[in-house]
Structure 1
Amino acid sequence: MSFMRLLGSAASVLALTAGVAWAEMPVLRAAVQESGTVNWELTTIKDNGFDTAHGFELQVQGMAGGPAAQVAFQGGEADVIVSDWLWVARQRSEGKDFVFVPYSRAVGALMVPEGSAATSLADLKGQKIGIAGGPLDKSWIILRAYAQQEYGMDLAAETEQVFGAPPLIFKTGVSGELGGAINFWHFLAKMEAAGMKPLVTVDDAAMALGLDPQTPLLGYVFKGEMLRDHPELVQGMAQASRDAKDLLSTSDEAWEAIRPIMNAQSDAQFDKLKEGFRAGIPAPGPVDEVAAGKMLKLMADLGGADLVGTATELPEGLFVQPGS
């Protein structure tokens, strides 16, 4: 056999072997909101090969929103979604074996317009507060508890709440039509870039209430059967997520690569979004379950069954440790 034929045969064998190896690599299907900020991390994972480096191929399915992703997940059309651990606690309390791997602790602040004379929540009495997450928004609940503790103020009764979609709260907040605004963290970053300022951060309010602001709120949600049957996939996703976070926390070039999907309308917005994401990266290591239990109790006391269902105590096995 000639050298060229031998080389060709070897190449064919290598290609076939590679094809078999690729075919055998397990696929992890992630269903996430198409415009959600988690796509910044997932794109970084894919573009840098952090998924295949940890033994799986990540496939991202864009969904209309969080509820649609939850339906796909519960119906077996997706292997992993992103949600808050309070939702996972509620599901576990109702008998569903879901587990949580931390992704982000980003929560935000109550913002006031540029030039506002307010120096505390007490100064918002009688004014309108815009809230993007609805009456059961976690930041709103923490701020209500904080106002009661610090000022003896019933924030819900002594202000007028305006609930709306995040873009509407952004627009009315920046225009000065609201006394204050609570929005999803990436819209808060854009509001700050537009001149609004934080009156009180949710981190500060949580600390005053004896909660741990380091408790990650958002995470990757898996079914318990995957953790039991394929722990390497859950751990691989956790490690790929950490690799992406490590890169995004140090590399400005990595941010330039994902800028086209960030919907940043200016350099100021881009810088604030990058800053907000980095600030929300949870520290590696186990979640403080005692602190999480305190937060769950607060949410149950103020949000009731509409928010947490029957989960009044932290369900055992909620957090995946290690990986958190």
Structure 2
Amino acid sequence: MLTQKIVTTLATAVVSAVLSTSAIAETTVLRAAVLKFGTVNWELNTIQHHGLDDQNGFELDVQGMAGGSAAKVAFQGGEADVIVSDWLWVARQRAAGHDYVFIPYSKAVGGVMVAADSDAQSLTDLKGAKIGIAGGPLDKSWLILQAYAAKNHGMDLASETEQVFGAPPLIFKSALSGDVSAAINFWHFMAKMDASGMRKLIDIADAARDLGLDPETPLLGYVVKGEMLKDNPDLVNGLATASRMAKDMLASDDAEWDRLRPKMNAKSDAQFTALKAGFRAGIPAPGPVDENAADRMLELMVELGGEKLLGTATSLPEGTFLQNGS
């Protein structure tokens, strides 16, 4: 009997080990190619640190990239499974025949910042001034501001100001040094500018709202291929769930931010506080994206940026957003 019990115990242990090994083998690795120092890393780190990927059936592998273009090349070439981009790029790709799908990540947008002692009180006060713009002439925030200036002030912002285009860190430094009179930058650099004593002349969200757009529409998100959604919907929905779990944690848990602080490149308590507040303000509401609102935004971007920005897309392509786990 004793021998039989030992044999049974050993057999049970072997079966358990096999099942455990099988479960590990079945865990899918999800390769995320993102900017090495991008703010999305705060959320991805939260997912990994708390095992939210494992809880949702995948293993997250974060690959730091030097730039957005490199991430897109890795994604399109099959070297990465997910990247972060804006949904307007996804819409352009879908219109061109590429089956990409957008999972909302952030609704945060930037604004126009000026020095605390600047005389500027509105965009009209920037006539003849030099404006630093993160990105290029087709930057979405810049396009929205041009439309806003034309509608509210009858002002041709592009021709009545001088523009300096550059990478976000360069525009940040140029703004602080006074090399430019105003700066349009991404939200996290805007938060740092605010913490450094600059003030906001106008928020892109307010300009968008004035133009009839919905600032609650998330602009940035995770991008996956439709093939993955079709073949492994649990994986894609697992990513969306893990993202939401991390957001819920970051929205309310100050201790989690204290843990992340060394990774945030915050030079002061003021910057840390501003970055935390900015990230939280950018968390989109749960639930499906309002596709009618998104379509209005796309139509305006087509009007302002044309084919250079959106290619052949003239309206929101069906299937752009992951909706209700679909």
TM-score tier after normalising by the smaller chain length: over 0.9
Q: Give the superposed CA RMSD.
A: 1.8
- Tell me what 1:91 maps to: 93
Question: Which whole-Å CA distance do the structure 1 matches of 2:36 and 2:113 have between them?
Answer: 26
Q: What is the identity, as a one-letter code, of the residue corresponding to 1:122?
A: T
The one-letter code matched in structure 2 to 1:31 is A
**CA offset digits 1:80-128 (Å, max 9, x no partner):** 1110001001100101111111000111111111111111111111101
1:110 aligned partner:
112
1:142 aligns with 2:140: no
Shift of 1:6: 8.7
Correspondence for 2:28 among 22, 26, 29: 26
Partner of 2:206: 204
Q: Deviations for 1:141-180, whole angstroms, at most 9, x for unmatched residues?
A: 1111000000000100100001112111111111222221
User: Which residue in the other structure is 1:287 paired with?
Assistant: 289
SS class of match (1:145): helix
Cross-structure match for 2:103: 101
**In 1, distance between residues paired with 2:137 and 2:198?**
22
Establish whether residue 121 from structure 1 lines up as the match of residue 128 from structure 2: no
Answer whether contact 1:173 1:181 (CA < 8 A) is retained.
Answer: yes
SS in 2 for 1:195: coil
SS of the residue 1:319 aligns to:
coil
Which residue of structure 1 lines up, in the alignment, with residue 154 of structure 2?
152
Q: Distance in 1 between matches of 2:182 and 2:25?
A: 53
Q: Cα deviations across residues 233-268 of structure 1 (Å, max 9, x unaligned)?
A: 111100000000000000011111211211111111
Q: 2:53 aligns with which of 41, 51, 54?
A: 51
Q: Which runs of 5+ in 2 are unaligned?
A: none
Is the Cα contact below 8 Å between 2:111 and 2:186 reproduced in 1? no
Alignment of 1:171-210 (within 5 A): 171-210=173-212
The structural deviation recorded for 1:288 is 1.1
Once the two structures are superposed, the pairs formed by residues 278-317 of structure 1 within 5 Å of their partners are: 278-317=280-319
Q: Which amino acid aligns with 2:186?
A: F
Does 2:240 match 1:259? Answer: no
Query: Following superposition of structure 1 onto structure 2, how do residues 237-248 of structure 1 map, counting pairs within 5 Å?
Result: 237-248=239-250
Q: Which amino acid aligns with 2:94?
A: R
Q: Is the 8 A contact 1:146 1:209 kept in 2?
A: yes
Percent identical residues = 66
Segments of 4+ moved more than 4 angstroms: 1-16
Q: How does 1:210-225 map to 2 (within 5 A)?
A: 210-225=212-227
Match of 1:132 in 2: 134
Q: Does residue 102 of structure 2 align to residue 72 of structure 1?
A: no
Residue 20 (structure 1) shift: 2.5
1:161 to 143, 158, 163: 163
Name the structure 2 match of 1:62: 64
208-217 vs 224-233, which moves further = 224-233
Number of matched pairs? 324
Residue type of the alignment partner of 2:258: E
Conserved? CA contact 2:33–2:71, under 8 Å: yes
- Contact in 2 for aligned 1:285/1:323 (Cα 8 Å): no
Q: Any idea what SS the aligned residue of 2:149 has?
A: helix
For the Cα contact (< 8 Å) 1:136–1:303, is it kept in 2? yes
Distance 1:64 1:168 in 2: 16
- The AA in structure 1 aligned to 2:107 is R
Deviation at 1:58, TM superposition (A): 1.0
Match of 2:41 among 32, 36, 39: 39
1:15: how far off? Answer: 4.5
Q: Is the Cα contact below 8 Å between 1:31 and 1:61 reproduced in 2?
A: yes
What code does the residue aligned with 1:244 have? A
1:8, distance to aligned residue in structure 2 (A)? 8.1
TM-score, structure 2 normalization: 0.95
Structure 1: gaps spanning 5 or more residues = none
Q: Aligned partner of 1:224: which letter? A: G
Amino acid at match of 1:245: K
Structure 1 residues 7 and 267, CA gap change in structure 2 (3 angstroms) = farther
Letter in 2 for 1:280: G
Distance 1:172 1:108 in 2: 16
C-alpha displacement of 1:5: 10
TM-score (norm 1): 0.95
Distance 2:121 2:7 in 1: 80
